[in-house]
Structure 1
């Protein structure tokens, strides 16, 4: 099965997100999980460290954007927005939607 967004074929999940949401990939070496958090639980210390690094990365992107790099400016906005999201699976687990056991699971 093929997936198209407009006239473009999305060949993997990342490309689908890029085409559907209109965002380019973050710069090399920057992981979305850095900004939105991992799917697995993290300790308060891990969360604080991750958010500190994310804030530094966003500040660097903002600085590059203010220096004239339009792509970095958009990446900074996208990364900042990701810090206010929760991955769907983690949110669903927290709500108890995927905690079922039994034959159907």
Structure 2
């Protein structure tokens, strides 16, 4: 089965996300999961570490933006916005009353 968005054929999940949501990859190969959190459960220590690194990356991008790099400034805004989102699968589980912890114990 082939998938199309507009008149573009989608060949992999990353391309689907880019075409469907209208944004390109983050700079320097950064991973969205760094800012929004992974779909899989993470420990409190993993979460704290991930969030600390994300804050540092956002601060570096913002500093580059203040230095005149317009793209870095936009990337900082985008990365910061991702920190306020929840991946769809995780939010759907919470809305249905399921939690990752309960699912792991079962």
Which TM class, normalised by the smaller chain length? Answer: 0.7 to 0.9
Tell me what 1:87 maps to: 87
**Aligned pair in 2 of structure 1 residues 29, 38: CA closer, same or farther (>3 Å)?**
same
Cα drift, residue 47 of structure 1: 1.0
Measure, in 1, the Cα distance between the counterparts of 2:72 and 2:9: 26
1:59 equivalent in structure 2: 59
> Which of 74, 79, 96 is the matching residue for 2:98?
96
RMSD: 2.5
Moved more, 74-83 or 13-22: 13-22
Point out 4+ residue stretches in structure 1 off by more than 6 angstroms: none
Deviations along 1:60-97, one digit per CA (max 9) or x if unpaired, are 11111222222212211111111011111122233339
Question: TM-score, normalised to structure 2's length?
Answer: 0.75
| Count of matched residue positions in the alignment of Structure 1 and Structure 2 | 100
Q: Partners in 1 of 2:87 and 2:64 — Cα distance? A: 28
- 1:103 matched to which residue of 2? none
> Any unmatched runs of 5+ in structure 1?
100-105
Unaligned runs of 5+ in 2: none
- TM-score normalized by structure 1? 0.75
Q: Deviations over 1:24-62 (max 9, x none)?
A: 211134111110101111122211111010000011111
